[in-house]
């Protein structure tokens, strides 16, 4: 909790001086087991792949060399935790594609022991 207040103090000082506050997302876990259940090596790779630009689910599955249904499940879990968002876009005569975006360029995760 102390980290939260120190981050907010730094942001308040920046805003007082008309400086830009870098957008970010912080997610804390009281139980480290919950953290380890959410953040697997595969999900970290997924988050890294979409760090600079959004990607379709099918492109992510191809790049990650993973089954599309497994990627879809991981994206759904990350979306429930508000780490990513998805949207449907038209796929020129072939229905719709799901595009995955990170919620912020910087995501900070912490577990409290």
- Residue 9 sits in a domain of what CATH number? 1.10.10.10
Dihedral of alpha carbons 63, 67, 73, 76, sign:
positive
Residues β-bridged to residue 96: 90
Q: Which residue range forms the structural domain that includes residue 62?
A: 2-111
How many structural domains is the chain composed of?
A: 1
pLDDT digits over 52-110, tens only?
899 999 999 999 999 999 999 999 999 998 889 999 988 777 788 899 998 877 777 77
CA angle 110, 111, 112 (to 5 degrees): 120
Give the whole-angstrom CA distance, residue 76 versus residue 52.
20
More confident residue, 11 or 102: 102
The answer on pLDDT for 1 being more than 60 is no
Whole-model pTM: value is: 0.72
The first and second tokens of residue 91, run together, are 């796929």
């Amino acid at each position: 909790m102390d980290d939260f207040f120190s981050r907010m103090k730094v942001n308040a000082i920046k805003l007082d001086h008309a400086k830009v506050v870098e957008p970010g997302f912080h997610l804390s876990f009281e139980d480290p087991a919950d953290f380890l259940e959410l953040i697997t090596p595969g999900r970290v790779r997924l988050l890294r792949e979409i760090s600079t630009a959004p990607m379709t689910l099918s492109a992510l599955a191809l790049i990650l060399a993973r089954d599309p249904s497994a990627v879809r499940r991981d994206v759904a879990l990350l979306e429930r935790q508000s780490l990513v968002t998805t949207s449907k876009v038209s796929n020129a005569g072939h229905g719709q594609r799901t595009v995955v975006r990170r919620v912020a360029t910087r995501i900070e995760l912490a577990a409290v022991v």
